[in-house]
């Protein structure tokens, strides 16, 4: 199932991807989704999300959470096959939803870094992935971290967000 179809199923209109309505109390606001809108997820080898962050996004929390689900389910299948056709870690964009694109980076141990974004800055995205990959390696090298378990380090979170600001 493609991402756009999933989004439609969930009732997210494809027409509002640029102007996004948000309710605060009984007032409606419409936000322009910034060029840097992105959400970032790390998925374990066993398809379990172990880290999530909304970076530069104005989406409401639950909307963002929905988007994460869509990214996971729609793009994971594509990544599953694509990952075996190249030895590169950076798979570039694997799926799209109008202006939103899913870019993926697969580590040697098949941990997947997935980014839903609307920027076209491929170099920035690649650098972002590479730097997060290195942070992930440091988490993994800790013998007391169980591979595939949730990344709870607040330093990791802070650093990922800083990298997102730098590159995305």
Q: Which of residues 24-83 bind other proteins (CB under 8 A)?
A: 45, 83
Which residue number, 69 or 80, has a Cβ lying nearer to other proteins? 80
Are the CB atoms for 102 and 75 separated by under 8 Å? yes
Position of tokens 């988490």? 139
Contact between 127 and other proteins (CB under 8 A)? Answer: no
Bridge partners, residue 51, by sequence: 42
Indicate which single residue of 30, 152, 165, 166 sits in contact with other proteins (rule: CB under 8 A): 152
Shortest Cβ 44–other proteins spacing (Å) = 11
**Stretch near other proteins under the rule CB under 8 A, chosen from 9-17, 29-37, 117-125, 137-145:** 137-145
- Give, rounded to a whole angstrom, the gap between the first and last alpha carbons of the chain: 27
**Which residues are within 8 A (CB) of 91 and not within 5 positions of it... i.e. 6 or more apart?**
79, 82, 83, 103, 104, 105, 106
Shortest Cβ 72–other proteins spacing (Å) = 19
Q: DSSP class of residue 26?
A: T
Indicate which single residue of 13, 27, 28, 108 sits in contact with other proteins (rule: CB under 8 A): 108
């Amino acid at each position: 199932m493609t991402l756009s179809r999933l989004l439609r199923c969930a009732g997210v209109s494809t027409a509002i991807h640029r102007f996004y309505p948000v309710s605060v109390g009984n007032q409606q606001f419409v936000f322009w989704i910034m060029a840097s809108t992105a959400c970032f997820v790390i998925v374990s080898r066993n398809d379990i999300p172990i880290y999530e962050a909304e970076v530069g996004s104005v989406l409401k929390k639950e909307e963002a959470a929905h988007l994460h689900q869509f990214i996971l389910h729609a793009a994971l299948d594509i990544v599953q096959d694509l990952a075996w056709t190249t030895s590169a870690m950076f798979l570039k964009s694997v799926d799209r939803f109008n202006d939103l694109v899913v870019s993926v980076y697969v580590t040697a141990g098949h941990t997947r870094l997935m980014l839903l974004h609307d920027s076209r800055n491929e170099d920035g995205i690649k650098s972002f992935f590479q730097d997060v990959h290195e942070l992930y390696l440091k988490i993994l090298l800790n013998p007391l971290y169980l591979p595939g378990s949730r990344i709870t380090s607040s330093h990791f979170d802070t650093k990922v967000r800083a990298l997102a600001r730098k590159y995305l």
